């Protein structure tokens, strides 16, 4: 008699376990932790703020850079070079129109993944003047190595 009870208990525990895993995978797996906002990849160009990529000043020495990644390009405004004064804090806000791309400002802590459907952000302060190269650090196809832009801190 007891064996049957234990078997039932075992199956029950397994069921609860499976459901818990399934539910948490659904909520967490589908949503990378730092990507809180979603955007329709096919409508990126007409969705704010991605309809106007590039640099915008939001405060004293505070900037935002709207980044639209696509194979194989970073759209960071009309030019491939962003210029900011030394000591500026920049919040990079990015998404991708197609596949997963990486976004890294080489030599800084600014590093994020751009995933289709999601908006990701990373903030960093540029204390040293110089030329920083923005690269894609996530293999995205044949033109992966062509994906770059430049940030000039003056």
Letters for 31-70 (x = contact with ligand CUA by CB under 6 A, - = none) are ----------------------------------------
Judge whether 16 and 32 are in contact, CB under 8 Å.
Answer: no
Residue 50 or 63 with smaller CB distance to ligand CUA: 50
Q: Which of 64, 104, 115, 138 binds ligand CUA (CB under 6 A)?
A: 138
Q: How far is the CB of 135 from ligand CUA (least distance, A)?
A: 8
Half-sphere exposure of 87 (CA within 13 A, CB side): 3
CB of 103 to ligand CUA, least distance (A): 9
Residues of the chain by 3-state class (helix, strand, coil), percent to 5: 25, 40, 35
In angstroms, the CA 68 to CA 81 distance is: 14
By residue count, the chain amounts to: 154
Give the footprint of ligand CUA on this chain (CB under 6 A). 72, 101-102, 136, 138-140, 144, 147
């Amino acid at each position: 008699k007891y064996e049957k009870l234990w078997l039932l208990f075992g199956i029950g525990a397994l069921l609860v376990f499976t459901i818990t895993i399934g539910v948490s995978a659904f909520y967490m797996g589908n949503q990378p932790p730092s990507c809180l906002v979603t955007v329709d990849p096919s409508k990126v160009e007409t969705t704010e703020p991605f309809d106007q990529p590039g640099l915008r000043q939001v405060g004293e020495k505070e900037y935002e850079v709207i980044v639209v990644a696509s194979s194989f390009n970073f759209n960071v405004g009309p030019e491939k070079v962003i210029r900011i004064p030394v000591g500026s804090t920049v919040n990079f806000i990015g998404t991708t129109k197609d596949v997963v791309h990486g976004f890294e400002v080489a030599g800084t802590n600014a590093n994020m993944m751009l995933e289709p459907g999601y908006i990701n952000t990373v903030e960093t302060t540029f204390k040293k003047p110089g030329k920083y190269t923005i690269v894609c650090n996530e293999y995205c196809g044949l033109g992966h190595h062509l994906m770059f832009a430049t940030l000039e801190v003056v």
